[in-house]
Structure 1
């Protein structure tokens, strides 16, 4: 570390916070408990505490935890109903679970020295592929071969329809890529910038500016944490609507 400082290099490493590390030491294998698994588990615990324990004693005048649980429930329920219609409400539990996991993982990742699972493509790709496969299978189950009409733009001139069909197919299969990269990229970038400002905070000459930068970025990251969970969820609803109503 000192050698790098003498050579003019950075004495802090913004990307080190994203390294997967075993909790009890040793090498990382598929069965090794890691910091990523720990914080994903804590995200699930946070969901249970908020939605199950927080609303266990339901009252006319709700407690703070009950109010948050009801707001989250009503927010996602309304989103699914508005985008997918009444038919989409049967898939509300899955979409609600997605939103709560992502938003809790994002918020817990803002705790100093914590780990943010959603900053890793290994996590976001699995979430995006789960949505993609679920929607695709559901589309064929509900509509049969009629699901392929999603790629056939009947309102376009006949000569352009084959070209547009190819574009639509490519766009469809790119969905899990954009779905996952958008979430992980935004979360990773925000945390890296905060770490950079934190490194400059140790330098006396720039520490006041760095502290202001950290405060501003932290506030922005709180907003981004919610917005990225919202974007991931609303895109899931849009994809679900395509599976339920491919002709529209």
Structure 2
């Protein structure tokens, strides 16, 4: 948490910095290992351990295995409901997407600031959410054109559209389709950024109120701390919801490419 003259900067938590204090530049490109890269690696590591520990295939599953199986079943059922049997081929990708976003969101909420460390939420950066959105959108385009060739453009002309309205409807539907990766990436980015800024602002109220004395602390710090607890619980819910929404929309976009609905 950055503080200067008693003021806390709520945007400092999003600053991408090299871990060892110096930038490593090769051929004019900065290839420094940053805090953002570290938390992405940590996310993948925690996710790998979680999946490895829950894939024991015991006859009577324990809590860990049950948790993994419930998540895989949840995503599998979502794909089957939104796409049908053809969606099984894309279940591993959507599951990986869902789990990475979920774990990245939750790890960014860890209260390790009390020991002098700083959690970093990689999904609060548009570069990360944008790459995930573009990757999903690219898969949709590849699947759509590979399966339907030029007939894929019929997706932009709903069935029953009057002939005279086809050019206008085609343009509107095409623009709506092209906006999808932007809205997909922005939604996750905005949700995570806004929540973390609010928590940091409230933390500033708590700290500055305590520094101002008992009277101000009772008026400002205590209510702010109680509000922080409630918003933290809400943010944990948002972490799961945003991961689900990203995976859900990806499955719906894949359904359009596969079934041309």
Q: TM-score, normalised by structure 1?
A: 0.93
- Corresponding residue SS for 1:12: strand
Match of 2:173 in 1: 168
In the alignment, structure 1 segments of 5+ residues that lack a partner are 6-10
Matches within 5 A, 1:188-207: 188-202=193-207, 203=209, 204=217, 205-207=219-221
- Corresponding residue SS for 2:103: helix
For 1:76 and 1:126, locate their aligned partners in 2 and report how far apart those are by CA, in whole Å. 21
Match of 1:39 in 2: 39
Shift of 1:48: 0.8
Write the deviation string for residues 150-200 of structure 1: whole angstroms up to 9, x where unpaired. Answer: 011232222222111100111111111000000010000001101111110
- Corresponding residue SS for 2:167: helix
Shift of 1:73: 0.3
Shift of 1:28: 6.5
For 2:246 and 2:24, locate their aligned partners in 1 and report how far apart those are by CA, in whole Å. 29
Task: Please say if 1:20 is aligned against 2:25.
Answer: no
Shift of 1:54: 2.7
Q: Which runs of 4+ in 1 moved over 6 A?
A: none
Match of 2:240 in 1: 226
Name whichever of 40-49 and 229-238 sits farther off.
Answer: 40-49
For 1:156 and 1:145, locate their aligned partners in 2 and report how far apart those are by CA, in whole Å. 19
Write the deviation string for residues 74-100 of structure 1: whole angstroms up to 9, x where unpaired. Answer: 000000011011011111111111001
RMSD between aligned residues:
1.2
- Corresponding residue SS for 1:44: helix
For 2:166 and 2:159, locate their aligned partners in 1 and report how far apart those are by CA, in whole Å. 7
In the alignment, structure 2 segments of 5+ residues that lack a partner are 112-117, 210-216
Matches within 5 A, 1:15-164: 15-27=11-23, 30-56=30-56, 58-112=57-111, 113-164=118-169
- Corresponding residue SS for 1:153: coil
For 2:147 and 2:73, locate their aligned partners in 1 and report how far apart those are by CA, in whole Å. 27
In the alignment, is the contact (CA less than 8 A) between 2:205 and 2:220 conserved in 1? yes
In the alignment, is the contact (CA less than 8 A) between 1:154 and 1:161 conserved in 2? no
Shift of 1:24: 1.0
Shift of 1:52: 1.6
Match of 1:8 in 2: none
For 1:63 and 1:198, locate their aligned partners in 2 and report how far apart those are by CA, in whole Å. 38
Write the deviation string for residues 132-164 of structure 1: whole angstroms up to 9, x where unpaired. Answer: 111101100011111110011232222222111
Write the deviation string for residues 25-64 of structure 1: whole angstroms up to 9, x where unpaired. Answer: 11265421111111111111111111122323x3233222
- Corresponding residue SS for 2:160: coil
Shift of 1:65: 1.5
In the alignment, is the contact (CA less than 8 A) between 2:23 and 2:31 conserved in 1? no
Shift of 1:207: 0.8
For 1:193 and 1:185, locate their aligned partners in 2 and report how far apart those are by CA, in whole Å. 12
